[in-house]
């Protein structure tokens, strides 16, 4: 068996073994290594030999394609794929998402400024909201009001539990809040096309809800014990 035949056998066997991996990135990286082997084999054997020019061209093409796909994967899963003005929001509130998942989720949102009534009590789920700027007010059934801070969720209980909204949410008459808004249709579309995004979203909201309840209890206690 000639050197060329032996090298071809080793490279082909290595390629077959690589496909046993479950990691697509490892497979692509291994393919690049194997293609580099084919490249040098074609050079060593001589481009005047039958098939060597084709092997050389294919090795270069395959290496470039797989290198591009690896770079694309790491770019889409790094914060670099997000606009700079979203970096803080992602790192502070949505870091459970991969950057690519957050980008998909964010692209489904409408950005609006609203004032007055944001959510009415005893309504079925219509919109999930996230407060970017401003301080909305929760009006409880007994008339007590709790002022929230920015970067809180609104309508999250009806989203998580499928129940009607439990309280009115509004703003001061002269104030506006800046919101990200996902409609019921947006959520359903994401659930169908990107179910992992919705599952992670529920976990993010559950954590935020626990903090929101803790904050509300502190405000209520401070009101009673003044």
What pLDDT shows up at residue 193? Answer: 92
What value does the mean pLDDT take over residues 167-195? 90
Asked if 146 and 216 touch (Cβ cutoff 8 Å), the reply is yes
pLDDT category at 224 given cuts 50, 70, 90 is very low
What pLDDT shows up at residue 35? Answer: 92
- Token pair of 70, please? 């690896």
Compute the chain's Rg from CA coordinates.
28
pTM: 0.73
Tens digits of residue pLDDT in 119-177: 888 888 888 999 999 888 888 776 677 777 778 888 888 888 888 888 888 888 888 89
What value does the mean pLDDT take over residues 85-106? 92
Asked if 74 and 54 touch (Cβ cutoff 8 Å), the reply is no
Asked if 59 and 38 touch (Cβ cutoff 8 Å), the reply is yes
What does the DSSP assignment read for 181-219? EEEHHHHHHHHHH-HHHHHHHHHHHHHHHHHHHHHHHHH
The per-type count for the chain, helices as H runs and strands as E runs, is: 8, 8
Q: Higher-confidence residue: 81 or 219?
A: 81
């Amino acid at each position: 068996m000639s050197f060329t035949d032996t090298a071809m056998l080793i490279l082909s066997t290595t390629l077959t073994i690589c496909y046993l991996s479950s990691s697509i990135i490892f497979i692509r990286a291994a393919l690049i290594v194997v293609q580099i082997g084919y490249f040098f084999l074609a050079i060593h054997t001589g481009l005047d030999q039958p098939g060597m020019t084709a092997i050389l061209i294919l090795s270069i093409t395959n290496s470039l394609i797989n290198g591009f796909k690896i770079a694309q994967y790491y770019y889409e899963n790094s914060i670099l794929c997000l606009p700079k003005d979203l970096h803080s929001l992602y790192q502070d509130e949505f870091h459970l998402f991969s950057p690519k998942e957050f980008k998909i989720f964010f692209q489904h949102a409408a950005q609006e400024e609203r004032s007055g009534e944001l959510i009415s009590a005893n309504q079925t789920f219509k919109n999930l909201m996230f407060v970017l700027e401003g301080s909305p007010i929760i009006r409880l059934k007994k008339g007590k009001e709790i002022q929230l801070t920015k970067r809180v969720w609104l309508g999250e209980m009806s989203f998580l539990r499928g129940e009607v909204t439990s309280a009115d949410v509004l703003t001061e008459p002269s104030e506006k809040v800046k919101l990200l808004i996902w409609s019921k249709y947006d959520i359903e579309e994401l659930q169908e096309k990107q179910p992992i995004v919705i599952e992670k979203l529920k976990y993010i909201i559950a954590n935020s809800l626990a903090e929101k309840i803790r904050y509300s209890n502190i405000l209520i206690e401070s009101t009673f014990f003044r």
